[in-house]
C-alpha cells in the first residue's frame, strides 16, 4: 500500500515534466519557424535585444519603468501599456510573473527588445482565466524607459497622483455642466418643478410631512426607488426592508443626504442627483445594481420615520415639560 502513495507523486512529477517539455518545445518551434535570433538564459528565458540603450541596468530593489505589449504565440495581444502610462514595478520584488522580472536584467535604460517566456516562467498551468490560457508561453515586447531608486520612485508617484487628481477634477467639472442640462431636461420631460441646491441637487416635495426638516444626527427610515435618466430602475427598497441610516455619517451617497435635508417625517418626493454627488466616473455593478459611470440618479423617496438622537429627544421632552408647567401655573 505504501508503494501506491509513493507512486502517485512520482507519476504527477513525470506528467508535470512532460507538460513542461511540451510547452518549451512550442516556444522553441515558434522561435525557429519565425527565424528569431533569440538567446537563452540559464533560467530558460529566451530574449532578443533590438536596440541597445546607453543607460544603467537595474539592481535588485530598483524601480523600473517600462512600456510593454504582451502577446500569445498566435499574435493575440492580451495586454499593453497605455500611451503615457508606463508600467512600474520593483525589480527583484516585482510582478508575480517570474519571467518578466528575470528579463529586466537583460535591459538597460533606452534599450528595446523582446522576451520569449516559457509557460513555467509565465502564468504556468493556471493562465489568467481570461485572455491567457493554461500552459501558454508568452511574448513581451519591452522598452526600458527609466530606472529609479526609492526617492525617485516616491517623487515620480507624487507627480502621477497630482496629474491624476487634476485630470479627475477637470472631468468632474466638465461632467457637472453636462449634468445640469440633463437634470433640467429630465425635470421638464417628467413635469417636475424642482428646486436646486447650491451643490446642484434638485428636489421636489410632492407631499408635505410634519415636524422639523431632517438634520444631521437624525435616524432616518425611507422607502426609495432609484432610476437612471432613461427611467430604468436600478434599485429599490422593499416594504419589509426600508433604508435606515443616520444622516451625516456618510452611509449613503452625498447627494441623497443633501436632498433629504429638505424633507421631514411623512413627506414624499423626488431627489435628482448630479453624478459628482453620486458615484462620479465610477461604474457600479454589484448585487443586481448596474449604474454606468457619470450617471445622474433620480430617487423617488418616502420618509417613513425620523428619529432625532437621544440628546435631542431629551431636550425636546424638557421643553415640552416646561410648557406644561407654564400652562398649569
C-alpha cell, 143: 522598452
pLDDT of residue 24: 76
Residues 286, 273: Cα–Cα separation, whole Å: 20
- Write out pLDDT tens, residues 81-108: 998 889 999 998 856 689 999 999 999 9
C-alpha cell, 295: 450617471
Asked if 215 and 265 touch (Cβ cutoff 8 Å), the reply is no
pLDDT for residue 173 is more than 80: yes
Across residues 58-68, what is the average pLDDT? 94
Across residues 113-120, what is the average pLDDT? 96
Spatial CB neighbours of 273, under 8 Å, sequence gap ≥ 6: 201, 253, 255, 256, 259, 296, 297, 298, 299
* DSSP of 178-228: HHHHHHHHHHHHTT---EE-TTS-EEEEEE--EEEEP-TT-EEEEEEEEE-
DSSP state of 277: G
Nearest CA to 307 out of 222, 241, 239, 233 is that of 222
* DSSP of 224-240: EEEE-TTS-EEEE-BTT
Residues 188, 211: Cα–Cα separation, whole Å: 30
The string over 190-221, giving b where at least 16 C-beta atoms fall within 10 Å of a residue's C-beta and e elsewhere, is: eebebeeeeebbbbbbeeebeeeebeeebebb
Tally of residues, the chain:
329
Sign of the C-alpha dihedral computed for residues 52, 56, 62 and 64 taken in this order: negative
pLDDT of residue 161: 94
Least confident range from 36-45, 59-68, 172-181, 281-290: namely 281-290
- Write out pLDDT tens, residues 141-153: 999 999 999 999 9
Q: Which residues pair with 46 in a beta bridge?
A: 40, 116
Least confident range from 48-57, 112-121, 244-253, 315-324: namely 315-324
C-alpha cell, 213: 426638516
pLDDT for residue 1 is more than 60: no
* DSSP of 42-108: TTS-EEEEEE--SSPPP-TTPEEEEEEEEE-TTS-EEEEPPTT--EEEETTS--S-HHHHHHGGG--
Q: What is the CA radius of gyration of the chain?
A: 31
pLDDT of residue 13: 43
Helix (H) or strand (E) holding 130: none
Nearest CA to 220 out of 180, 253, 263, 186 is that of 263
DSSP state of 261: T
Sign of the C-alpha dihedral computed for residues 221, 225, 227 and 233 taken in this order: positive
CB atoms within 10 A of CB 19: 16
Most confident of 20-24, 121-125, 295-299: 295-299
pLDDT of residue 127: 87
Helix (H) or strand (E) holding 281: none
The average confidence (pLDDT) of the chain is 89
Model pTM score: 0.65
DSSP state of 249: S
| 152, 165, 167, 254 from 159: Cα distances, Å | 11, 10, 12, 29
| 7, 36, 78, 223, 257 from 68: Cα distances, Å | 44, 19, 11, 51, 45
Which domains, ranges and CATH numbers included, belong to the chain? 33-153 (3.10.50.40), 173-314 (3.10.50.40)
Amino acid at each position: 500500500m505504501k508503494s501506491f502513495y509513493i507512486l502517485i507523486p512520482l507519476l504527477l512529477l513525470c506528467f508535470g515534466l512532460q507538460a513542461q517539455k511540451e510547452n518549451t518545445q512550442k516556444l522553441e518551434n515558434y522561435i525557429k519557424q519565425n527565424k528569431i535570433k533569440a538567446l537563452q538564459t540559464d533560467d530558460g528565458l529566451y530574449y532578443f535585444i533590438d536596440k541597445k540603450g546607453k543607460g544603467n541596468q537595474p539592481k535588485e530593489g530598483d524601480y523600473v519603468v517600462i512600456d510593454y505589449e504582451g502577446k500569445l504565440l498566435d499574435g493575440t495581444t492580451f495586454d499593453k501599456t497605455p500611451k503615457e502610462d508606463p508600467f512600474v514595478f520593483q525589480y527583484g520584488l516585482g510582478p508575480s510573473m517570474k519571467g518578466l522580472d528575470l528579463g529586466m536584467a537583460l535591459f538597460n535604460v533606452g534599450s528595446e527588445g523582446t522576451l520569449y517566456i516559457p509557460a513555467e516562467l509565465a502564468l504556468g498551468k493556471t493562465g489568467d482565466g481570461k485572455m491567457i490560457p493554461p500552459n501558454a508561453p508568452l511574448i513581451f515586447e519591452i522598452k526600458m524607459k527609466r530606472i529609479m531608486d526609492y526617492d525617485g520612485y516616491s517623487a515620480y508617484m507624487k507627480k502621477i497622483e497630482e496629474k491624476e487628481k487634476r485630470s479627475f477634477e477637470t472631468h468632474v467639472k466638465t461632467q457637472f455642466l453636462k449634468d445640469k442640462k440633463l437634470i433640467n431636461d429630465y425635470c421638464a420631460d417628467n413635469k417636475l418643478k424642482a428646486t436646486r441646491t447650491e451643490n446642484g441637487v434638485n428636489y421636489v416635495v410632492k407631499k408635505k410631512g410634519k415636524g422639523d426638516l431632517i438634520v444631521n444626527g437624525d435616524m432616518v427610515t425611507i422607502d426609495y426607488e432609484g432610476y437612471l435618466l432613461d427611467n430604468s430602475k436600478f434599485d429599490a427598497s422593499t416594504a419589509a426592508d426600508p433604508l435606515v441610516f443616520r444622516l451625516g455619517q456618510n452611509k449613503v451617497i452625498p447627494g441623497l443626504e443633501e436632498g433629504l435635508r429638505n424633507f421631514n417625517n411623512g413627506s414624499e418626493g423626488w431627489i435628482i442627483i448630479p453624478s459628482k454627488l453620486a458615484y462620479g466616473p465610477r461604474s457600479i455593478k454589484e448585487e443586481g445594481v448596474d449604474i454606468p459611470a457619470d450617471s445622474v440618479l433620480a430617487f423617488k423617496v418616502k420618509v417613513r420615520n425620523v428619529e432625532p438622537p437621544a440628546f435631542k429627544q431629551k431636550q425636546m421632552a424638557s421643553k415640552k415639560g416646561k410648557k406644561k408647567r407654564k400652562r398649569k401655573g
